[in-house]
Amino acid sequence: MSKVIGIDLGTTNCCISVLEGGAVQIISNKEGGRTTPSVVGFTEKDERLVGQIAKRQAVTNAANTLYAVKRLIGRKYDSPEVEKMRQTRRKTK
Amino acid sequence: MNPNQDSENMKEFEFEDSLSIDDFIKQLEAKEKDLDISSELVIEIEESEFDDKNITEFLKPESPIENGQNPLLVSPNDEFLDKTEPLKNKISNLQDQISKMETQRVELFEISRRRQTDFDDYKNRTERERSETFRKQLGNLAEKMLPVLDNLNRALDSAAHFSDENLQDFQHFFDGIVLVNQQLNEVLTGMGVQPIASVGEPFDPYFHEAVATEETADVPPHTITAELLRGYRIDDKVIRPSMVKVSASIKSKAADDSADTDLDLFEVFSEEK
């Protein structure tokens, strides 16, 4: 039987829940957290880090750590918001 | 068997048979005399209408089915069609019912298979959750005790700044606190809680949380130079990551400094969703 899940794609955190027996149950992530930070990091070894792990290394790898990309979803490449983010990324490199 | 004996028996049979025929003829001649039957007598038989419907059962011709003939090859008549039509309808209805029941059977089998799969998943998940619940509760309990342990360690560290005179005054009290700290560490170790090694180790975001970077040539980049808050784990599950300072090269340090000022990372992370 197919299941119904709900995804809260937040600017800062994401959360996924499943409808089970008429009740909503939040799915925990690998670390056991009910919410996952909306952060993605790319290391020098081309390893992709997601969530809490990516957030922990953001200070040491700020140039390759993306956060709050929800603000850019659906926007055009030459929109002011995307341009501001690009300028910010250039400063970190 | 003796052939001579057989021939004698046959002669005896012919002899008895010839006697019985003679007697029969004599009896007939005697009856003819009583009935006055002569050669001039003419016998007339009156013909009657023959009714097929009233014929007796044993005189009726045998049916084609009893003779083993295929009834379909027999020439159809209205009576035969009247009898077969309801049977055909009944067969058609039964075939429809069979097809419906087969469809229902397939649907029920599919539902049963899905239920079984769901139940197996539920069972496996329940078993997994049951085994994880204990560790999770243990981790929650240890996590709440960790600030107490941190403060106790800070208190012991601050004792190093005491002068010898002050330390002598509180020596017994200090020894008692050390023993309490040791006892608490033993309790946590008994629960499976172990501190995470940090200083001198390469930075690993799975166990450490970088809160600052430090320019240094003494150690390679991405090496932990200082531990600001000790982290703990139960087996491979991190209860609390170590908050550490990480070494960085001059170039990357400059980039990280600009990132700290331009990106306002912690400002974003502290926002409510």
The secondary structure of B46-82 as a DSSP string is ------STT--GGGSPPPTTTTT--GGGSPP-HHHHH
pLDDT surpassing 70 at residue B206 = yes
**pLDDT class of B263 with cuts at 50, 70, 90:** very low
Interatomic CA distance for residues B81 and B129, integer angstroms? 71
Amino acid identity of residue B231, one-letter, is G
Tally DSSP H helices, then E strands, for chain A. Answer: 2, 7
Nearest to A70 by CA among A24, A7, A25: A7
- Inter-chain touch A56–B118, beta carbons under 8 Å: no
| Averaged confidence pLDDT in chain B | 76
Measured in degrees and rounded to the nearest 5, phi and psi for residue A63 equal -65, -25
Collect all residues of chain A within an 8 Å Cβ-Cβ radius of residue B136: 32
The distance between the two most distant Cα atoms of chain B, rounded to a whole number of Å, is 179
pLDDT bracket for residue B164 (50, 70, 90): low
From A15's Cα to the closest Cα of chain B, the distance in A is 11
* Interface with chain A: mutation pick from B214, B215, B233, B273, highest number of A CBs within 10 Å: B273
CB atoms within 10 A of CB B240: 19
- Residue of A89 and B239 predicted with greater confidence: B239
The residue with greater pLDDT, A2 or B202, is B202
Residue A50: beta bridge partners?
A40
Predicted confidence (pLDDT) per residue in B216-262, tens digit:
888 888 899 999 999 999 888 888 999 999 998 766 544 555 544 44
Which one has a higher pLDDT value, B80 or B92? B92
Please tell me the distance from the alpha carbon of residue B165 to that of residue B122, in angstroms, as a whole number. 66
Mutate to test the interface with B, among A56, A67, A86, A91 (most CBs of B within 10 A): A56
> Confidence class of residue B96 from pLDDT cuts 50, 70 and 90?
very high
The token duo for A69 is 């990309």
Q: Which pair of structure tokens corresponds to residue B144? A: 């709440």
Burial label, A68 (beta-carbon count in 10 A; 0-12, 13-18, 19+): middle
Band of residue B46 on the pLDDT scale cut at 50, 70, 90: low
Buried b (16+ CB within 10 A) or exposed e, A16-55: bbeeeeeeeeeeebeeeeebbbbbbbebeeeeebbbbbbb
**Residue of B222, B258, B273 with shortest CB distance to A60:** B222
Q: Inform me whether the pLDDT recorded for B36 exceeds 70.
A: no
CB proximity A92 to B under 8 Å? yes
- The whole-number average pLDDT for the span A48-74 is 90
More confident of the two residues B112 and B167: B112
* Rounded Cα–Cα distance for residues A52 and A39 (Å): 8
Between CA B250 and CA B216 the distance in angstroms is 8
Q: Are B184 and B162 in contact (CB under 8 A)?
A: no
SS3 (DSSP) at B116: helix
Pick from A41, A55, A93: CB nearest B269: A55
Q: Chains A and B: how many Cβ contacts under 8 Å?
A: 75
> A30-36 — which CB contacts under 8 Å span 24+ positions?
A31/B238, A32/B136, A32/B139, A32/B237, A35/A10
Q: Does A62 touch chain B (CB under 8 A)?
A: yes
Tokens describing residue B51? 């009714």
- Does residue A33 sit at the B interface (CB-CB below 8 Å)? no
